[in-house]
Each structure stands twice: as structure tokens, then as C-alpha cells.
């Protein structure tokens, strides 16, 4: 997936990718099953991978002849040796730079290296000082490690990764940028920052979250003819707006406001009215029928800022609301504590965000009627750990949150994760311009409005995430830096009405 907003080509590539995401152990199991079923050695897949890499490289960089291919100690390096042999056969000029002497390789990687040497190829060891005198490359192929990374890189590999990143030329990563954990999306000390990545068999779940979004570059997947077992589900599902917008069918002509739900938003303590207003406006723009705001009485009535909003300062609405939002601008004082406890007494659907989550962290409880929307800092407080621990394995973190607190949990960040009792989905929408105040408040309002209109908690969270991120992508056409949360509101309205959007 390309992480460049406003690039029509990259959005088209991302939308065309399979929706299933996989753990590396699942990919290895599929390879073994393919070999057993087809009666072929796994080396046949290495040959296919090399051919796919050659086609990919020559398609995207047809004018480049001087390639540096960095090979590692395992099968990822074997793919690189096959690629080198094919490039040589087509009269290109590959330079193979190895992290390990080919004589020390084992299995299929050694077979591939020996085939390269047999055709007259040469291998330079990565620490050979002669490399400094070679003509600089036009293209670098990263065939160091692939999916075989679960610990921090050794010093030699760290040095090679730094060399690759410092060459200043396009980088094609083989299967996975070296140093990226394909299961967690966490960089293991050092990581190659690829221009493009060609991944094989299936897309690894770590490629779309955490550090993966910064180092994968443009992503394409070649299944090499290895189809998934229909009885083995993916470890996660990739979501984007095009995949879910069919959920947003036009309303019945007979619709009235009572059919579209009543939302009560609780928050807006002293000096924090902006948060609850943003959430309420997003709720209106997503289509809730009626929206009421419970905020601190020190503030002027919300109707002065948005005439369509109703106000008050009590969280107990006498059963008026069909959905509640608790937390934006709530604060941590006695006024906030009382409203938080009042709001939790109802069994209607709830959305908890911001200080609502901070109150929950102080008195944990398990409920099935809520959607929790923590950012990594709030998630760390909810689990009693550090932010670094959350970010080291976002998939494990969101699973732990859902198991401990119940309901649906949406873990914000690059590659937002949504977990329920059935599994995990990953939202690929959004951009760095969303790293500003108020964005999370919008998301709470969007999800609440969808709940009010009848979507399940899981679908409201998934739809809410893709609408939120896609709105930010559209708003970023004017630039990511300086983008405001309120800039998303016109786009939110358009996105919940897909028939109004022209391509």
C-alpha cells in the first residue's frame, strides 16, 4: 500500500489488494501444503519468486541496469540469488552482496546460490572493502531477511540495513522489508525503508500497521500459484472505504428522524467544550436523527455553536437516548466522575473515548454493550503497561483489551485495529495529517451515529474507522500539515452518502 495521499495510482493499487491478512506461520503452512499437494519441492516456489521479482523490477524500473542485490542467510536470500541469475541472463548487471558466505548456506538457499555461481556470477561479502570502489547502484534489491525476523537484528545486519537506506536509490524489498516483524508490524531495531515491496503467497498482517506503514512503500502481492485453504481463515481482515461503502445504502423515502436514533454525548468539562462539540457535529453529519450534549454548565449552550444540537448538564436523560458517547473533554474531576457513573447505568450501546477510558482504567469492568476507542497511551493505561509494549505488538494489545473489557475495541494509530469476539480487522485509511487534536472526537461521533442508525457495534466501528480515515485522505488534498479535525466534516457527510461521490 502506498502511504501517499492524493496519489490516484497508489489508491488504486491498495484497493486491488486481497482483503485477507496472514501471520507468517500461516504462510509457511500454505507453502508446505502446496508442496505436498503438488508433489513439488519448495525450491520451485523460490524459482517462481525470483521470476516474479525480475518481472516486477523490470516493469517499474525498465531503464536501470546496475542492480545491487543484498542476500541474507535464508530463503529470502535464495530468492535474491534466483533474481540475480535471471538478471544476468537478460544482460543486466547485478552485483550480489551477501551477509553470509554462500558456502555456509543450507537447503534451497544454497541450491540457488550455487546456480548463480555456476552461471559465472560473483558474490561480494558485505564487509568487503572493495565494495566502496564499485560504481553506485541504480536499484537495490533487499533480499536479506524477509519474514524470518523475530528478534533485534545482529550488528552486521544492522550495518547492511543502514547501507541500503543510505544509498539514496529505489529499493525493492523481497516479501517483506528486512527488519520488519511481519506479525506485529514492529521494526526489530533497524528496518529497510523500501520504495516498493513485492510480497508472496499472502499479505502479512504487520505490513499495514505500526512501522510497516513507513517502510513497505508501494505493495504488491504475487501468490505464486499457492491458493489459501478455504477452511483456514486469515488472521485479520483489511478494511477500506471501497470495501464497505455498499453498507451505506440510501435511506427509505419514508424515513424520519426517529428512525435514525437519538445520541447523548457526555463530556465537555471546563475549558474542553471543543472536544464534545466536534464529536456532536460528526454525529450529526453521519446521520443521527437527534443529538443531545451533556456538558459542564459553565459553557454557553451548544445550540449557539450548532443550532441542531440540544444541551444540558445531566447524563441521566430519563431513557431518551438510544446511544451514548462518554469521554470527549470529560475531565477527571468530581463533575466528570458523577457523569461517568450516571452514563454507565444504562444498557444501551455506548462509545467510550478519551477520559471515559481513563475512568474505566481506574475501575476496570467487562461489558458487551460498548465500543472502546483508545489511542496507544489510553490502551497502555487500560492494560497497565507501557506505550512501547502496546506498539511492540498492536495485534496482541487489541486482543488483550477486548478480552479484558468486552464489546468492540478500536485501537487507534497507523493501521487502526478493530477487535470483537470473532477476530480482528485492520483499517488502511488515513494519513499523518490526522495527528492533531480533535480527530478522535470525530471518530466517537461517527461510530455513535452509525450505532444509532442500526448498525451492529462491530460494523459501526469498522465503518466508522474507514469513513474517518477516508475523510482525512480527501481533506488532505490541500495538505496534511495543518489539517484540522473540522476540515473532515464536509467529507464525512459525502462519504455516508456514496451515491453523491463522483470519481
Annotated binding residue 101: no
Whether residue 500 is annotated as binding a ligand: the answer is no
109 annotated as a binding-site residue: no
Angle at 53 between CA 47 and CA 59, to 5 degrees: 140
412 annotated as belonging to a binding site for a ligand: yes
β-pair type (323-326, 123-125): unpaired
Say if CB 23 and CB 235 are below 8 A apart: yes
142 belongs to an annotated ligand binding site: yes
Does 197 carry a binding-site annotation?
no
Q: Which residue has the cell 543486466?
A: 92
Q: How far is CA 491 from CA 282, 328, 353, 465, in A?
A: 10, 21, 22, 14
C-alpha cell at 189: 531495531
Distances (CA, A) of 19 to 15, 173, 182, 415, 417: 9, 21, 16, 14, 14
Residue 493, Cβ density class (10 Å: 0-12 exposed, 13-18 middle, ≥19 buried): middle
Q: Is 185 annotated as a binding residue?
A: no
E strand or H helix at 124:
strand 123-125
267 is in an annotated binding site: no
Annotated ligand binding at 375? The verdict is yes
Q: Is 415 annotated as a binding residue?
A: yes
Please give the Cα distance from 311 to 141 (Å, whole number).
Answer: 60
Does 147 carry a binding-site annotation? yes
The annotation status of 441 as a binding-site residue, yes or no, is yes
Residue 393 CB neighbours (<10 A):
18
Residue 374 to residue 380: CA distance in whole angstroms:
9
Cα maximum dimension of the chain = 83
Q: Dihedral sign, CA of 29, 32, 38, 41?
A: positive
How many alpha carbons fall within 13 Å on the CB side of residue 133?
4
* Cβ(123)–Cβ(116) below 8 Å: yes
Q: Would you say 178 is a known binding-site residue?
A: yes
- The three-point CA angle 457-462-464 to 5° equals 90
Q: What is the CA radius of gyration of the chain?
A: 26
Report the alpha-carbon distance of residue 110 to residue 121 in Å, rounded.
Answer: 14
Ligand-binding site membership of 471 (annotated): no
H helical segments located in 327-456: 334-343, 355-362, 376-383, 387-392, 394-405, 439-452
| Other C-beta atoms lying within 10 Å of the C-beta of residue 256 | 9
* Ligand-binding site membership of 78 (annotated): yes
Residue 225 assigned to a binding site? no
CA dist 421 and 436 (Å) reads 31
> Has 255 been labeled as part of a binding site?
no
The answer to whether the annotation marks 440 as part of a ligand binding site is yes
C-alpha cell at 155: 550488528
For residue 414, say whether it is annotated as part of any ligand binding site: yes
Which residues does the annotation place in the binding site?
75-79, 142, 146-152, 175, 178, 275, 329, 375, 412-416, 440-441
Binding residues for K(+): 76, 142, 178
Q: Please enumerate, by residue number, every residue annotated as part of a binding site for AMP.
A: 412-416, 440
Residues marked as binding for (6S)-NADPHX? 75-79, 146-152, 175, 275, 329, 375, 441
Amino acid at each position: 500500500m502506498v502511504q501517499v495521499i492524493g496519489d490516484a495510482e497508489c489508491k488504486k493499487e491498495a484497493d486491488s489488494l486481497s482483503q485477507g491478512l496472514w501471520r507468517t506461520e500461516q504462510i509457511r503452512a500454505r507453502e508446505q501444503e502446496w508442496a505436498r499437494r503438488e508433489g513439488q519441492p519448495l525450491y520451485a516456489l523460490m524459482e517462481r519468486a525470483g521470476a516474479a521479482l525480475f518481472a516486477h523490477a523490470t516493469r517499474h524500473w525498465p531503464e536501470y541496469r546496475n542492480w545491487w542485490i543484498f542476500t541474507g542467510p535464508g530463503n529470502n536470500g535464495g530468492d535474491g540469488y534466483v533474481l540475480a541469475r535471471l538478471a544476468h541472463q537478460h544482460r543486466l548487471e547485478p552485483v550480489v552482496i551477501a551477509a553470509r558466505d554462500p558456502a555456509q548456506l543450507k537447503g534451497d538457499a544454497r541450491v540457488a546460490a550455487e546456480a548463480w555461481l555456476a552461471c559465472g556470477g560473483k558474490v561480494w561479502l558485505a564487509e568487503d572493502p572493495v565494495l566502496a570502489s564499485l560504481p553506485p547502484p541504480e536499484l537495490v534489491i533487499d533480499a536479506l531477511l524477509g519474514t524470518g525476523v523475530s528478534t533485534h537484528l545482529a550488528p552486521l545486519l544492522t550495518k547492511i540495513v543502514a547501507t541500503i537506506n543510505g544509498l539514496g536509490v529505489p529499493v525493492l524489498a523481497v516479501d517483506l522489508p528486512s527488519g520488519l516483524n511481519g506479525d506485529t508490524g514492529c521494526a526489530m531495531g533497524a528496518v529497510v525503508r523500501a520504495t516498493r515491496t513485492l510480497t508472496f503467497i499472502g499479505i502479512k498482517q504487520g505490513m499495514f500497521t505500526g512501522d510497516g506503514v513507513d517502510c513497505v512503500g508501494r505493495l504488491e502481492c504475487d501468490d505464486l500459484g499457492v491458493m489459501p485453504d478455504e477452511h483456514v481463515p486469515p488472521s485479520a481482515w483489511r478494511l477500506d472505504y471501497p470495501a464497505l461503502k455498499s453498507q451505506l445504502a440510501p435511506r427509505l423515502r419514508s424515513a424520519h428522524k426517529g428512525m435514525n436514533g437519538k445520541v447523548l454525548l457526555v463530556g465537555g468539562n471546563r475549558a474542553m467544550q471543543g472536544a464534545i462539540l466536534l464529536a456532536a457535529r460528526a454525529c450529526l453529519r453521519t446521520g443521527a436523527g437527534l443529538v443531545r450534549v451533556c456538558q459542564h454548565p459553565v459553557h454557553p449552550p451548544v445550540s449557539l455553536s450548532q443550532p441542531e444540537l440540544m444541551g444540558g448538564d445531566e447524563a441521566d436523560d430519563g431513557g431518551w437516548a438510544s446511544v451514548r458517547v462518554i469521554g470527549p473533554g470529560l475531565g477527571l474531576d468530581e463533575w466528570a466522575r458523577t457523569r461517568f457513573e450516571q452514563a454507565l447505568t444504562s444498557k444501551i450501546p455506548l462509545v467510550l473515548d478519551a477520559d471515559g477510558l481513563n475512568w474505566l482504567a481506574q475501575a476496570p469492568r467487562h461489558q458487551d454493550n460498548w465500543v472502546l476507542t483508545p489511542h496507544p497511551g489510553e490502551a497502555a493505561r487500560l492494560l497497565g503497561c507501557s506505550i512501547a509494549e502496546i506498539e511492540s505488538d498492536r495485534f496482541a494489545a487489541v486482543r488483550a483489551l477486548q478480552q479484558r473489557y468486552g464489546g468492540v475495541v478500536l485501537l487507534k494509530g497507523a493501521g487502526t485495529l478493530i477487535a470483537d469476539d470473532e477476530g480482528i480487522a485492520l483499517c488502511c485509511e488515513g494519513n499523518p495529517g490526522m495527528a492533531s487534536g480533535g480527530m478522535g472526537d470525530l471518530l466517537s461521533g461517527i461510530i455513535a451515529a452509525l450505532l444509532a442508525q442500526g448498525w451492529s457495534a462491530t460494523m459501526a466501528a469498522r465503518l466508522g474507522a474507514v469513513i474517518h480515515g477516508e475523510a482525512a485522505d480527501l481533506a488532505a488534498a490541500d495538505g496534511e500539515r495543518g489539517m484540522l479535525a473540522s476540515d473532515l466534516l464536509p467529507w464525512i457527510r459525502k462519504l455516508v452518502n456514496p451515491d453523491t461521490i463522483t470519481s
